[in-house]
Structures are given as C-alpha cells and as structure tokens.
Chains A and B, each alone.
Chain A
Amino acid sequence: MARNQLLNITIWTALLAPVVYIGVMIVRIQNGEWDLLGPEPGRAVTQFLGTWALNSLLLTLTLSPLKRSPLSINLISYRRRMGLFAFTYMLLHLLAYMTMMLGWQWQDLNDEVVKRPYMVVGVFALLLTIPLAITSTRNWQRRLGRRWKKLHYSVYLVAALSMVHILLQVRSSWTEFVVYSSVLSLLLIERLLNRQKTA
C-alpha cells in the first residue's frame, strides 16, 4: 500500500503543481506585485495554462507506450485522471483568455474568436474533449462497453487540433511547434508500429 500511495501522491502533486503555482502568482499579482509575470500578466497566465494543457495531454498519451516499453511501467490506471487534468487545463486556458485578455467583452468575440482560425480550432478541440471528460467515469466506461474505446480515440483528433492551434500562431520561432509535434509524432508512430506487431 505504501508504494501505491506514494505514487498516488506524486502524480497528483505533479499534475496539481502548475495550477497551484499559477494560482499563487495570481494572488500575489492581485496583492500588489503587479509585474511578477511581466506587464501583460493576463497573456502570461493564458499561455502558461495552454502549455500545461498540452503537456498533460501528451503525458496522458505517453502512458500506454510506457507500459509497452522495456521499462514496463504501468500507470494506465492513472490515465483517465490525467486526461481530466488535461481537460481542466484546457478549460482554464480558455477561461483565462476570455477573462484576462478579452475581459468578457462580447463585441470582440466575433473579431477575436469567430474570425480567427487558430481560435476556432482551439475551441473545437476543447468541445471534443467534453464528451470524453463526461464519460471518463468507470460507470460510463461500463455502460458504453466497446464503444467507450472508440469514442475516446477522438483524443488523437484533439491532440492534432492542438498542434494546428499552435502552428497557426507561429510568428518568429518554430521551436514550440517543432518540439510538441515531434513528441506527438513519436507517440503516434509507436502506436502504429505496435499495431502492426500485434496484428
């Protein structure tokens, strides 16, 4: 039990740390340390949450190759929880954008969201994760049976759309896009190879 509990605590801490960190930052900024995250703190918070949405999504997709790897580390039982974290970070990312960058000014919604392909792609990716988040309970898993797995394959679409979301924002450096899309590509290639092996 000790080992399991330790693992539990470690994983929860790792996934919660970013949101706790940014929460502390927000409180400190509100309490007068206005330039803690630079002169555009809303943008910094939004980007931070977006980065962690992507990190936790890719981390979720790493669990099955990790189990198959020579190390055979089995963390599959954490996968749904990790996915929920990814969903939460995506939600917070959009929420931060709407609050801290747009200030909920609805007249800007058309100008800044509807007309912008990178925003449309991002919002679409988030919408796709809602059914996945809802059906992430064991109960739903039982109820949907085989269809559950099929439904949850759409996580790959979410990941691909997230790549498009950052690709469309590239201005002067490819680094972020190259790093993230390489990681995702590796994860997908491993799955293809594994499929061929088991087929």
Chain B
Amino acid sequence: NAVAQAKESAYKLDDPVAPYSAVTSYNNFYEFGYDKDDPARLAGRMKTDPWSVTVEGECDVTGTFNLEDILKGIMLEERIYRLRCVEAWSMVIPWIGFPLKDLVGRFRPRSTAKYIEFITLADKKQMPGVASVFSTIDWPYREGLRMDEAMHPLTLMAVGLYGEVLPNQNGAPLRLVVPWKYGFKSIKSIVGIRFTEQQPHTTWNQIAPHEYGFYANVNPEVDHPRWSQARERVLPGNLFSPRRVDTRMFNGYDEVAPLYKGMDLKVNY
C-alpha cells in the first residue's frame, strides 16, 4: 500500500526513535479515556473505514469527502519528528504523511481564510471518554492553526507511523502533526476542516485559558502554571536515571521562528 511505499525525507533527527510499543501504548486521546493506556485498549472499536472529512468555511471547495478521494495522488513521505507533550515528556516518532499545505491547496481557501480549524470525531457509541459524565471536555475536540502555520512545510498530515497505517490510538486515519507545538495541537482522527476568518476556539484553551494558549508553541521560558516547561523527560525513561533534558525553543525547530516575528510569546503562549 501507499504507506509502505512512503519515501524517506530530509526530515530526520539524530536522536534514536522511541520503540513502536511506547508510541502506540502511551497516548493522550481522551475520547477513549483519561489513562495513558486507555486509547491502546479501547480505540480498536473505532471504525476508520469508510472515513469522511467535512470541509467548510472560507474556501471554494466545500463538502463532505471520502478520505480516499481527498488523498488521491498525494505523495507520502516519512518524517522523524520529536513530539513534545505539554505534560513535559517527549518521544521521537517516525511519521508517514504529507505536508498539510498540499491538502489545503485542494480546497482553494479564499483570502478571507485566516485560520484553519480541525475537528475530531466525537461518537459516544465508539468512544467511552465522550460518553463519560466526569469529563471536563466539551466535545468534539477542536484545534486550530493560523493559516501561515498551516502552510509551513514542517506541518504534517499523518496517516501512518513506522511504515504502517496509523493505529487507532495514534489518531487514525488522519491526524495533524505540528512538531514545534505541544502535542495537544496535533489533533487526531480528523472529521472536520473549517477555514475561518476569526481565530477558532480550541479545546484546551477553552478549558483552561491561563494554562493553554491558542499558539501552544513549545517554549522553555513559559511555564505551565503547575509545572515547569524548562526541561522534559525523554521517553521511554529509565527508573533510576530519568532522561531529563533541556527543552528547546520551538522544540528545536528554529525555522518557524519567523512566523512569530514581533509577537510576545510570553503573552501569546
């Protein structure tokens, strides 16, 4: 299949990749539960084929599309990115995907499209977390990017990892990967894309605006109110010598710095 034939790309890291079992067993995917191992246990019941994505808003091509139709002719590549979770841990993951800008172009956004909003599937029947009454989340999960962030060559739409189709717990069949932002920006199992003029509401920002900003760029100088972001635990970790390393600005992806020229990132965190 196409995923197995994905080409290598120039996007690589020197750090060793996390083992497959770590990447696929330790997930935040609250639609399936709040423990890190809930998604791996419970996401199997999510039906990812057929899958459709609804595109709407400030673009010329709108409608509901089958995933295969959306991805027709798109070239897949492997990219090894560091994923930095807002919880102060990180993993190095070999994704299979394509630049988001390739997809965005197909919908011909208008000049009024300043932002792009993404929506995750929210189905009580398939997702126990969505059905839970103790949840602090107003489903469906939403995320968003500014248009120039979405069009940046680093911004990836992933359909696989380790040369395989994405496991459900990792956001099958289609997920975002924005490596210079905290992991929660990289929304999973996308069913909706909306081009907007106004900055969209995003889930974590709505739950706790003083803890999670819209931008959520990895930034060692802006602490989460409850923990420091200056350092991170590289996973998988050792019990008696946890691999704590300094967190880098933009997660080490310095090439995105021009996107935020003139912005105070302590205010726009």
* A residues neighboring B (CB under 8 Å): 26, 29-30, 34-35, 38-43, 45, 99-103, 105, 108, 111-112, 115-118, 168-175, 178
Q: How far is the CA of A111 from the CA of B25 in the complex (A)?
A: 29
Chain B residues with Cβ under 8 A from A38's Cβ? 22, 25-26, 36-37
CB-based contact A35/B241 at 8 Å: no
Chain B 203-240, CB within 8 Å of chain A: the 1/0 string? 00001000000000000000100111011010111111
CB-based contact B134/A174 at 8 Å: yes
CB-based contact B21/A35 at 8 Å: yes
CB-based contact A172/B137 at 8 Å: yes
CB-based contact B22/A35 at 8 Å: yes
Most A C-beta atoms less than 10 A away, residue of B30, B36, B223, B240: B240
Q: How far is the CA of A170 from the CA of B134 in the complex (A)?
A: 11
Q: How far is the CA of A115 from the CA of B230 in the complex (A)?
A: 13
Known: A111-B228, A168-B226. A41 touches B30 (CB 8 A): no
Q: List 8 A-B contacts (CB under 8 A).
A: A39-B91, A100-B240, A101-B233, A108-B228, A115-B228, A173-B30, A173-B34, A175-B34
CB-based contact B25/A170 at 8 Å: no
Q: Does B132 contact A (CB under 8 A)?
A: yes
CB-based contact B18/A39 at 8 Å: yes
Q: How far is the CA of A38 from the CA of B228 in the complex (A)?
A: 23
* B residues neighboring A (CB under 8 Å): 18-19, 21-22, 25-26, 30, 34, 36-37, 89, 91, 132, 134-137, 207, 223, 226-228, 230-231, 233, 235-242, 244
CB-based contact A40/B235 at 8 Å: yes
Chain A, residue nearest B40 (CB): A38
Chain B: minimal CB distance from A196 (Å): 33
CB-based contact B18/A26 at 8 Å: no
Interface of B is mostly: loop
State which of A29, A103, A115, A178 has its C-beta within 8 Å of the C-beta of B244: A103
Chain A residues with Cβ under 8 A from B241's Cβ? 103
Known: A35-B21, A38-B36, A116-B227. A175 touches B134 (CB 8 A): yes
Chain A residues with Cβ under 8 A from B230's Cβ? 111
CB-based contact B239/A173 at 8 Å: no
Known: A39-B25, A108-B228, A118-B226. A99 touches B135 (CB 8 A): no
Chain A, residue nearest B34 (CB): A173
Chain B residues with Cβ under 8 A from A171's Cβ? 136
Known: A39-B91, A111-B230. A172 touches B237 (CB 8 A): no
State which of A39, A111, A115, A170 has its C-beta within 8 Å of the C-beta of B237: A39
CB-based contact A99/B240 at 8 Å: yes
Chain A residues with Cβ under 8 A from B34's Cβ? 172-173, 175
Other than A100-B239, A118-B226, give 19 A-B pairs with Cβ distance below 8 A: A39-B19, A39-B26, A39-B91, A40-B233, A42-B238, A42-B239, A99-B240, A100-B240, A101-B233, A103-B244, A108-B231, A111-B223, A111-B230, A111-B231, A168-B226, A172-B207, A173-B136, A174-B134, A175-B134
Chain A: minimal CB distance from B240 (Å): 7
Q: How far is the CA of A65 from the CA of B191 in the complex (A)?
A: 53
Instruction: Give 5 closest A-B pairs by Cβ, nearest first.
Output: A39-B236, A39-B22, A111-B228, A173-B34, A39-B235
Q: How far is the CA of A126 from the CA of B27 in the complex (A)?
A: 31
Chain A residues with Cβ under 8 A from B237's Cβ? 39-42
Chain B: minimal CB distance from A34 (Å): 6
Chain B, residue nearest A45 (CB): B239
Q: How far is the CA of A172 from the CA of B32 in the complex (A)?
A: 12
